[in-house]
Amino acid sequence: MQLEYIDIPALIAASGDPWAVNQTLQVGRPAQISSLAAAFHGAGRSTTEADATFDQARGRFEAAWTHENGDSPINAAAEVQRTAHALGAQSEQLPKIGAHLEEVAAALAEAQKGGKAVIAGLETSLQGLDDMIRQAVQMKNEGKITADELRAFTDTCEEDAVRLTKRALGQLHSIRNGYSRILQKGQSNLATDGYDPARVWGVDGHEAETPESAERDVRAALGGDRAAASRVNGVLGSITPDQVAGTVPLTAEQASVLSQLQAQQHGMSIDALKTAEQRLGDDRRMIGDSWQLMSNPSLVFPKTPLKVGAQQGSDTVRGGVEQLPDSVQQTLDVGQPGWMYADQTRTVADIVRDGDPALQRNTGIDQGLLHKGAMIMTQDWSRNTFDGTVESVFWAAGRDHQAVNWIVNQQGVGDQSTQDFLKNITHHAWSDGGEAAGSLFGWTQDAAGPEARIAGQTAQTYAAYLGSHSHELLDLPGHHTLGQVDPKLTQAFARGLSPYVTNIAGGTNELSQYFHTPDTNADVEAKLPIAKGIFSVLSTDKDASNIFNGAAMQQIMADQNRYADAVAHHVPGAVANDADLQQAATLKGLVDVGVNNAVHAEGLNGAQQAHEAYSRKESAYNSVVKGGSTALGLAGKALPPPYNMIGKIGGPALTMGGNALQQDIIGAPPSATAPHDVVIPHMQDSTAYSQVLDGLVANRVPTGLPPQFFAPDVPGDPRSPLHIATYDEYVTNCTRVSGLPPLNDYQFNQTLKNAVQGILGDGTVIPHMQHQYDAVTQIPDP
């Protein structure tokens, strides 16, 4: 801008340069980013959420874009093809990448529009002031005002110009910072979804960090400058999962920023680091993120001398615990008693928890925190107040699943603290009921994907511990069970082990490569003591039982149906191949043993024990068939077909399994009185017959049984699917429906037996089931 009387360079010197700030916005090319976004959005099957995000952002972009600089040098098709190839099986992420890109394009277009408006308003005001000075000069030349009056008026106008320019600069900084925050979030989202945000640098208005600017920005951010922290976080947020894993090197910009963060924090005390973090507000994750990165052994970055104002040199260092600030290293030093620096440990953990979990990949800071927590737990700390410290450690470092696997399996250190890690966790009455401690274990439920191996390894170790130490965990100090002392921890164990119920029971599946049966081969054939211990411990809390025993019941349904489906479709050898039925019998036996052992450990008498055992099994069953376990750990898994049909044929909101299999799986309710010592009975003939027949009925195999042998799943609903009636239901049917005298109990069972024999033509299936169940239940003590 050129003015006649107001000196623009002098004005910039006095107030700052809003034109320069605006220029950093205007160099961006939102149309190019939007074009690339559209290509990604249209490249794959999109979700409703991705569509809504994209459409909303596209509307904002269209409203803000001024249709300037619309050239599109980015080869969108090539970018999509390259990214799709890199993502492989995860190419469904492409529309999400498109939505994230469109959000960046919209934000940039809005920022550019806002910046132009601010500059236009400023230039109009400055031109008005310059015109007023021109008029004053003319009035002085005409003798209407004196030279002093002209000087005073000019000074006032120039002061107004400075004020207006400063205000415009502040508005532009606000616009710029707002866009930077959105850009930072967008870069982080893109990196998470598998797209390198650096590939759109130059068109996204990104201000690259040089070694010089990295030194300034990190120094300013540690001093409380939130705008500088936002720029630093923008760089850290652009680090991709491949870079975190060390398969792709850091960019020069990322390396410069990390190098400065490592050097400038080196000599700061814990209190100084906490103060620096807290005053950054929403950008406080900068410090925790930097610790993850600088202690990541997969990363290499430049070494910066440890002095104020220093810039990186040519030497490089590898990430590790030795790169952390000295005060953090001192806090985590395991060569001192665990209780030392407990308060500082909690501060370190809280800072780590404020960071990005995506960066937590077996890092030195997370390993150090977990080891420090283990050290604290080895002390005689039950009378002290360290629960909050150790719980903070678990919440923070427990998000690093590789580090959890590292300490649970003693992969790095083998001192007493790590050897007793599981013992100390399970033998302490946590102030939060074990919720924080449970965060170390519940994640193994998600056994699929890239963490399947370490999930299986971790679950294998703590499953074996629970099973082999069940006697202790059923009789903790005060004669309490683990579920009574730490219910949240017990629930987390149940969640984490729920995918492995088949493996625990001696079966094999796709998870066997990661999690093998914890019992020996000889024990699998008979007693299954470790499995019984696991089922017993995880039945000591009702919600944990709902999760774990519910998963077992769900597997029982799947096993029974798989056998019946093969028979129904005349698969060769299906009748004699009754391994699925034997596995279902094993799981049923483990559930019965586990629940009985759990309620017995709670000190209930015979009648109370029988009723509580049934109630706990009924609750677990209902959590599966009625969806009550969704929030507790079964993740809303549907029942296996065909036990999920009733909602599709217009019946009440119950699954087909609602009543059809309840008697088969959990048995009949106990009588009003029960013996003093509750003993699990042998599998009755009627139970075995009903289990087989119910699966066959669900698969529409004709049984030849008369109508009075069936009962509706939903009482009173004639449209409801049917199940094999209990003897009591059969008697009612005879009385109310057929008018025929009922058979006696023996005759009823013989009729069921004949139906099974008529369909299967094999007399060994039922005895196999009964033998397998009885082998598990007749020695209930793990």
pLDDT digits (tens, 9 = 90+) for 685-739: 888 999 899 989 888 899 999 999 998 877 777 777 788 998 988 998 898 876 7
pLDDT band at residue 559 using 50, 70 and 90 as cut-offs: very high
Cα(391)–Cα(370) distance, rounded to whole angstroms?
10
For residue 480, the cross-strand partners are 476
Cα(689)–Cα(756) distance, rounded to whole angstroms?
7
pLDDT digits (tens, 9 = 90+) for 294-317: 999 999 999 999 887 888 988 999
Count the Cβ atoms, other than its own, within 10 Å of residue 374: 24
Which of 532, 504, 491, 526 has its CA nearest to residue 631? 491
Burial class (CB in 10 A: 0-12, 13-18, 19+), 208: middle
Q: What mean pLDDT comes out for the span 202-219?
A: 76
Structure tokens at 200: 């759109």
Give the per-residue pLDDT at 108: 81
pLDDT digits (tens, 9 = 90+) for 490-509: 999 999 999 999 999 999 99
Structure tokens at 2: 């050129």
Q: What mean pLDDT comes out for the span 156-176?
A: 90
Stretch among 119-128, 204-213, 323-332, 634-643 having the lowest mean pLDDT: 634-643
Q: What is the DSSP letter of 724?
A: E
Which of 688, 686, 628 has its CA nearest to residue 658? 628
* DSSP states of 146-196: -HHHHHHHHHHHHHHHHHHHHHHHHHHHHHHHHHHHHHHHHHHHHHHTT--
pLDDT band at residue 633 using 50, 70 and 90 as cut-offs: very low
pTM equals 0.76
* Selected residue with higher pLDDT from 99 and 374: 374
The yes-or-no verdict on residue 749 having pLDDT over 70 is: yes
Give the per-residue pLDDT at 637: 46
Give the per-residue pLDDT at 340: 86
Percent of the chain with pLDDT over 90: 54
pLDDT digits (tens, 9 = 90+) for 366-415: 999 999 999 999 876 554 578 999 999 999 999 999 999 999 998 766 67
Stretch among 64-73, 190-199, 276-285 having the lowest mean pLDDT: 64-73
3-state helix, strand, coil in the chain (%, to 5): 65, 0, 35
Helix-helix angle 685-698:745-760, to 10 degrees: 50
Cα(498)–Cα(503) distance, rounded to whole angstroms?
10
Give the per-residue pLDDT at 76: 45
Give the per-residue pLDDT at 104: 78
Q: What mean pLDDT comes out for the span 215-222?
A: 95
b/e per residue, 452-491, with b = 16+ CB within 10 A?
Answer: bebbbbbbbbbbbbbbbbbeebbebeeebbbbbbbbbbbb
Q: Any idea where the domains of the chain sit in the sequence?
A: 8-197, 211-226+233-319, 338-440
Percent of the chain with pLDDT over 70: 83
Instruction: List the beta strands (DSSP E) in 634-734.
Output: 710-712, 722-724
The yes-or-no verdict on residue 553 having pLDDT over 50 is: yes
Burial class (CB in 10 A: 0-12, 13-18, 19+), 282: exposed
Determine the straight-line distance between the first and last CA of the chain, rounded to whole angstroms: 86
Cα(278)–Cα(274) distance, rounded to whole angstroms?
6
pLDDT digits (tens, 9 = 90+) for 711-726: 887 777 777 778 899 8
Average pLDDT, the chain: 85
Coil vs helix vs strand at 721: coil
pLDDT digits (tens, 9 = 90+) for 403-447: 999 999 987 666 788 889 999 999 999 999 999 999 999 999 986
Give the per-residue pLDDT at 648: 33
Cα(345)–Cα(393) distance, rounded to whole angstroms?
8
Structure tokens at 280: 């950054």
Is the sign of the CA dihedral 328, 333, 334, 338 positive or negative?
A: negative
Is the sign of the CA dihedral 48, 50, 51, 56 positive or negative?
A: positive
Give the per-residue pLDDT at 259: 97
* DSSP states of 725-773: PPHHHHHHHIIIII-PPPP-HHHHHHHHHHHHHHHH--SSHHHHHHHHH
